[in-house]
Amino acid sequence: MSIESTNPATGETVETYEEDSSADRDEALERAEAVFDEWREVPIEDRQEMLARAGEQLRENESTYAELMTEEMGKPIAQSHAEVEKCAWLCDYYAEHAAEHLQDDRIASESDARTLVSYEPIGTVLAIMPWNFPFWQAFRFAVPNLAAGNVGILKHASNVPGCARAIEEVFREAGCPEGAFTSLLIGSEEIDEVIADDRIEAVTLTGSSGAGRSVAETAGSELKKTVLELGGSDPFVVLDDADLELAVEKGTQARLINSGQSCIAAKRFIVVEDVYDEFLEAFVERMDEQVVGDPTDEDTDVGPQAREDLMETLDEQVQETVEQGAECHVGGEPMDREGAFYPPTVLTDIPEGSPADREELFGPAASVFRVPDEEAAIEKANDTQFGLGASVWTEDYARGERVARRFESGMAFVNELVKSDPRLPFGGVKASGYGRELAEQGIREFVNEKTIWVQHQNGEDDGLVE
């Protein structure tokens, strides 16, 4: 069978790839298992050097990779360039800090014993990754795991096969041993079988809550660890003392990044009564000003949705919410032009239980809620199945931190949009998943945290350097 890469801005076929056969899949798993024994013994300093070279490879070919992303899934080209650079930054970060994050932890116990925790690789980790940040999501998995001594199998989204192959090429050109990082072009129907394979030790997925439940069920039945980064419907809370100009500027950016197709995009704007009208007027105006168009144009703010069916799903959610009584201030239906284009959309007076209230709107549609005060804002922010990120806007920093601590989320930001950063752990709670990526916490997710006890005899030390 073949996999077609389609440009969502034009509907044209970019390229056709042959799907990997069951024999190809088996060979990749066998090769990964074999190379693990070699890769785990490579000094971590050498693994870090490989990551540094991967960062160089990304920067040297930034335009090629950026154009590929934009062509396959419609990301505005300026954001594609930024994504490649962010992946290079990730490589730089672990090239510098991986050894520090994985060094033994000495823990005091008995006076005549040396006790510590070592962090050792576990084997082959399967990553099931989405299309919306086709390079970043995959690198966020691959870089810390390769640094830790694990090997990786990537099952990327079916609409970005070219990106999947390009990512594999980056590591190969950086000197990663054959089989230490492999991209498999296979269908989703094969995932359960791969997860259950004895050669897979752990699984990480970024995707929908439904996909997360399915993967967790299969992996759990095999007693394999999982890390899940799932959907989000992040609250963007505007308090009565917020800098409204900043909140509108950042709110527009936070809602429309990646043409609205981001798990951590601000989706529910919760605004206190005292500043609601002023915020809404400015926000609607700013959303309406954004340039929707050709994603290869540097001046484009919002490109197409990644697939026609995804745009149709978003439109169904918007239309159902309006039919239930919501008001649409701008946008609200697919654009009359070639390609899967949906305009920036703002909904208010949203009925409780409607799609815009309860579901994740994965596209450039913002839900704006009016609440009487801070306490009601916090209550509304937490009134969701999701718990990925959240932000609060106020000129009182102490107040902002107090509110941030009350959010039921894996990440909380004060006067800043929710974002990922290699130096900080990333992940959610509730239906947004569990486990963490990035930073020290991320590199330690798929390792064996082994307790080692060295008993000293007759008061002698163990001869090991402290």
Phi, psi of 248 (to 5 degrees): -65, -45
Question: What was the pLDDT predicted at 451?
Answer: 98
DSSP label at 111?
A: T
Question: What was the pLDDT predicted at 458?
Answer: 73
Mean pLDDT for all residues in the chain? 97
Using pLDDT thresholds of 50, 70 and 90, give the confidence band for residue 60: very high
Tell me the domain boundaries of the chain. 2-230+428-452, 234-414
Q: What is the CA 247 to chain-centroid distance, rounded?
A: 23
Produce one character per residue of 435-465: b if its CB has 16 or more CB atoms within 10 Å, e if not: bbbbbbbbbbbbbeeeeeeeeeeeeeeeeee
CATH superfamily for domain 2-230+428-452: Aldehyde Dehydrogenase; Chain A, domain 1 (3.40.605.10)
Type of residue found at 458: N
State mean pLDDT over 146-150: 98
Residue whose entry in the numeric block shows the structure tokens 């540097």: 298
Using pLDDT thresholds of 50, 70 and 90, give the confidence band for residue 459: low
State mean pLDDT over 233-251: 98
How many other C-beta atoms lie within 10 A of the C-beta of residue 67?
A: 14
Type of residue found at 73: M
Q: What is the largest CA-CA distance in the chain?
A: 84
Catalytic residues, by residue number, are 229, 263
Q: Which residues contact 368 (CB under 8 A, 6 or more apart)?
A: 269, 271, 280, 283, 346, 347, 348, 350
Is 452 a residue whose pLDDT tops 90?
Answer: yes
Is 86 a residue whose pLDDT tops 80?
Answer: yes
Which candidate, 383, 366, 362, places its Cα nearest to that of 312? 362
Q: Please calculate the CA angle 446-53-48 and round it to the nearest 5 degrees.
A: 40
Residue 260 backbone zone (phi > 0: left; psi -120 to 50: alpha; other: beta):
left
Is 20 a residue whose pLDDT tops 90?
Answer: yes
Number of H helices, E strands in the chain: 15, 18
Q: What is the DSSP string of 231-277?
A: ---EEEEE-TTS-HHHHHHHHHHHHHGGGG--TTSEEEEEEEHHHHH
State mean pLDDT over 155-178: 98
Using pLDDT thresholds of 50, 70 and 90, give the confidence band for residue 435: very high
Q: What is the CA 165 to chain-centroid distance, rounded?
A: 19
For residue 239, what are the CA distances in angstroms to 65, 98, 200, 266?
Answer: 40, 40, 48, 15
Partner residues linked to 412 by β-bridges: 390
Question: What was the pLDDT predicted at 466?
Answer: 45
Spell out the CATH class of 234-414.
Answer: alpha beta
Question: What was the pLDDT predicted at 1?
Answer: 77
Q: How far apart are CA 356 and CA 267, in angstroms?
A: 9
Is 5 a residue whose pLDDT tops 60?
Answer: yes
Phi, psi of 219 (to 5 degrees): -65, -40
Q: How far apart are CA 7 and CA 306, in angstroms?
A: 8
Question: What was the pLDDT predicted at 465?
Answer: 45
Residue that wins the pLDDT comparison between 460 and 107: 107
State mean pLDDT over 106-125: 96
Is 464 a residue whose pLDDT tops 60?
Answer: no
For residue 457, what are the CA distances in angstroms to 111, 151, 460, 462?
Answer: 11, 39, 6, 9
Q: What is the DSSP string of 306-357?
A: SSHHHHHHHHHHHHHHHHTT-EEEE--S--SSSSS----EEEESPPTTSHHH
State mean pLDDT over 318-333: 98
Which candidate, 350, 351, 332, places its Cα nearest to that of 342? 332
Q: How far apart are CA 419 and CA 337, in angstroms?
A: 32
Partner residues linked to 183 by β-bridges: 154
Q: How far apart are CA 213 and CA 215, in angstroms?
A: 6
